[in-house]
Amino acid sequence: MKVLVAGATGAIGRPLTRALIAAGHEVLGLARSAQAADAVQALGADPVRADAMDRSALLRAVEGLSADAVVCQLTALSKPKRTLDERDMSTALRKTGTANLLAAADALGATRLLAQSLVLGYGYRDHGDRILTEDDPFGEPAGNLTDHVLDGLNSTEDQTRRAGGIALRYGCFYGPGTWFDPAASARSIPVPRSGGGVMSWIHVDDAAAGTVAALERGAPGAAYNLVDDTPSTWGAMGDAIAAAGGRPPMRLPDRLLRLAVPYLGALMIDTDMRVSHDKATRELGWRPEHRGAAPPATGS
C-alpha cells in the first residue's frame, strides 16, 4: 500500500515508517518544515510539506497525489505537562488535526484509516486488579483536568471509527524518543517517591509493529489495545531505564508532585491500569516482542 503518515518523525512515527517500508509499503511522510522533510527523506519516505492543522494547506499539498491509507500519529507529548486546559496542543491535534487528515484521506482516495489513541481513555482512576479490554467504557468524563485528554481521545476515535477507520489504544510509551529513553541521559523524569500507580506500557518498536498489523489486518471501525505483557509502576519503569543506562528518575514526595504538577499526579499516582492486548493478538496476529522493561507490579 501507499501510506500517508502524519507524525512520521515522532517517537512512534520513525519506527513505524521504517517498519512500513520493511513490510513493502510506500510511505508519504507529512512534514511541517524543511528540517522535518529532510528527516522524512532520511527514513526512506517521500515528504509531503504541510501543517496538519492548516486544512487548506494540507489539501493543497495532497492535490494530485493518491494513497491507500492514512495513519495519524499526531501528538505533542515530547515532555511532561504541568497541567492541562482547553488550549492543550495534543487535544487540538486530536480534534482538528484528525478532521483535517480525514479530509486529506478523501482527497487521496484512501480507504484505510488509522489513528493514535491511548489506554488512558479508560479513565484516570484506580481500576484495581481487573484487566481492561476494548469492551470496557472509554472516554467517560471524570470532572477534572484529565477531561481535556479524554475529550481529545474521544474526538479522534469518534471521527476515525465513524469513517470506518481503526483506533489504536497504545499503552504509555517507552524506548527511543520517549520520556523513558535510556539514551536521553540529560533528562530525569519525575516519578512519585511511593513508586506511583500501575500502568500498561508499550515499547515504540512494538507500537510500530502493531500499527502495521492493524493496517494490514484490522477490522474497519475497530479499536485495539496495544500494550506489553507487564503492567508496572512508574517508579519501577524509571529504575529500569536507569539500569539500562539512563538517568535515575527524580523521586518526588507524592504530595509535592500533586501540587507542583497536577496532571502528573493524576496520571502517576491516582491511576492504576492493567490492560489486555488479547484482541490485537487474536485478530491481528500481533504480540509484543518487548514483554516489559520493568518488573511486573504485584498482583498484575
Total domains present in the chain: 1
Residue 37 φ/ψ, nearest 5 degrees: -60, -40
| 262 located within any domain | no
Its pTM stands at 0.94
| 26 located within any domain | yes
| 133 located within any domain | yes
pLDDT at 157: 97
Torsion sign across C-alpha atoms 26, 47, 81, 294? positive
Give 243's contacts (C-beta < 8 A, 6+ positions apart).
Answer: none
The 8-class DSSP code of residue 111 comes to: -
Q: Along the 300 residues of the chain, how does pLDDT read in single tens digits?
A: 999 999 999 999 999 999 999 999 999 999 999 999 999 999 999 999 999 999 999 999 999 999 999 999 988 665 555 556 666 788 889 999 999 999 999 999 999 999 999 999 999 999 999 999 999 999 999 888 899 899 999 999 999 999 999 999 999 999 998 989 888 756 788 999 999 999 999 999 999 999 999 999 999 999 999 999 999 999 999 999 999 988 889 999 999 999 988 989 999 999 999 999 999 999 999 999 998 888 888 754
| 245 located within any domain | no
The dihedral over CA atoms of 41, 46, 49, 53, expressed in degrees to the nearest 10, equals -100
Residue 232 φ/ψ, nearest 5 degrees: -150, 165
Domain range holding 97?
Answer: 2-173+203-227+278-284
pLDDT at 5: 98
| 190 located within any domain | no
| 238 located within any domain | no
CA distances (Å), origin 289, targets 18, 27, 130, 187: 17, 24, 24, 26
| 248 located within any domain | no
Give 145's contacts (C-beta < 8 A, 6+ positions apart).
Answer: 83, 84, 85, 262, 263, 266
| 85 located within any domain | yes
pLDDT at 265: 93
pLDDT at 88: 76
Q: Which three cell numbers stand for residue 150?
A: 479524554
CATH code, 128? 3.40.50.720
